Amino acid sequence: MNSQRNKELIPLALIVVALIYTGIVIMTTDTMLTLRFKIAYGLTAIALVMYFLDRTISAIVLGLTLVLGLLNVIAFTPMVYTVGAGLKFVAYNTEVALKIQLFSLFVLLTFIYAYGRTFKAWINKDGL
């Protein structure tokens, strides 16, 4: 049981370390703290506080945070590396390309590893 708790801390610790690194880079260079970083800091703080209060809500908030990071809505690191998936959405003469952040993909994979049993039970419950 204790090893499961330690595994659940891995994705959250990776995000916290990345955001500490981002904070150091922002303070020491001319990089600006944008809304993408502020949302990432806020959601990570909520997930961190909820980890000690209610682990289920923490997992949901952390998963939501990782999905938003994966879809390039929020950013965890000052240099965002993305991979284009080849999907483009065009509406009202506006083109939006779907890009995936590599860091968020890596942390999402560790999240699935850490919450593997819960993730499989959730998928089987919904019949996917």
Q: Could you give the count of Cα atoms lying within 13 Å of 68 in the half-sphere of its Cβ?
A: 19
Question: What is the residue type of 38?
Answer: K
Name every residue whose Cβ is closer than 8 Å to that of residue 101 and which is 6 or more positions away in sequence.
69, 70, 72, 75, 76, 80, 81, 82
CA dihedral 60, 49, 113, 4 (to 10 degrees): -120
Helix (H, G, I), strand (E, B) or coil at 71: coil
**pLDDT tens digit sequence for 79-114:** 887 777 666 667 776 767 778 888 898 999 999 888
pLDDT tens sequence across 46-83: 999 999 998 888 888 999 999 999 988 898 888 887 77
Residue 36: give the domain boundaries: 2-126
More reliable by pLDDT, 4 or 127: 4
For the chain, what is the domain count?
A: 1
Write down the pTM of the prediction. 0.82
> Confidence band (pLDDT; 50, 70, 90) for 1?
low
